[in-house]
Structure 1
Amino acid sequence: MKTTEQGLKAEQAVADLLQQNGFELIDKNWKTKVCEIDLVTEKDKTIFFVEVKYRSNLAQGDGFDYITGQKLKQMTFAAEVWKRQYNWGGDYRLMAAAVSGNDCQDIQLIELD
């Protein structure tokens, strides 16, 4: 399976898990010319911007190892752009999902500060 296909499969697995846990999926693969967000979800009047990281080989670290300071800045910037575009003035959180396994069966979620 191509990397892009595997990434989309991982994003769908995370979206499914979040929906099973009461999150509403607002958007997938939202993009502008300068930024992107993998998943945008909502729960309890809070928007969650989710970065999904898939790793087939954990020898190079899990997906959370790739959430760097630079990635956090990019996520925050993208969230601000999304909020402006949709005139969202409510609460929001950043979230990361680390996905592994051929069938994307291992999913870990964390909220980012």
Structure 2
Amino acid sequence: MTTTGTGQQAEAAVAAYLTTLGYKIVDKNWRTKVCEIDLIAKKQQVIYFIEVKFRSSATQGAGWEYIGPQKLKKLKFAASVWAHDHNYNGDYSILAAEVSGAGQGAINIVEIVD
């Protein structure tokens, strides 16, 4: 399977998992010319911007560890663009979702706080 196919499987697994936790998926693979967000979900009155990371094995480290300062800056920018484009002024949070093993393994959700 291609990297894109594996990423799409991981994103679908995270979307399904979040739905079971009461989140409503608002958008998938939202993008502009300069930024993108894997998943956008809503629970209660909060919007969540989710970066999905797939790891085929634990030897690769945790997916959220690969979200460094530059990636976090891009995620924050993308979230602000989405909020502006959708006239959204409410609370939001950025999450990392790590999927381990073939897109059907364990899913860990981590809130990114800087």
- TM-score, normalised on structure 2? 0.95
Q: Give 1:9's aligned residue.
A: 9
State the distance in 2 between where 1:92 and 1:26 align.
13
Q: Give 1:99's aligned residue.
A: 99
Question: Which structure 2 segments of 5+ residues have no match?
Answer: none
* Structure 2 SS opposite 1:52: strand
* Structure 2 SS opposite 1:8: helix
Question: Matched residue pairs, number?
Answer: 113
Letter of the aligned partner of 2:87 in structure 1? N
State the distance in 2 between where 1:52 and 1:103 align.
11
* Structure 1 SS opposite 2:51: strand
Q: Give 2:108's aligned residue.
A: 108
CA contact (8 A) 2:54 2:103 kept: no
Question: Which structure 1 segments of 5+ residues have no match?
Answer: none
Give RMSD over aligned pairs.
0.9
CA contact (8 A) 2:55 2:99 kept: yes
Dislocated runs of 4+, deviation >3 Å = none
Deviations 1:83-113 (A, max 9, x none): 0000000100000011111242211001111
* Structure 1 SS opposite 2:30: strand
1:1-113 residue pairs with structure 2 within 5 A? 1-113=1-113
- TM-score, normalised on structure 1? 0.96
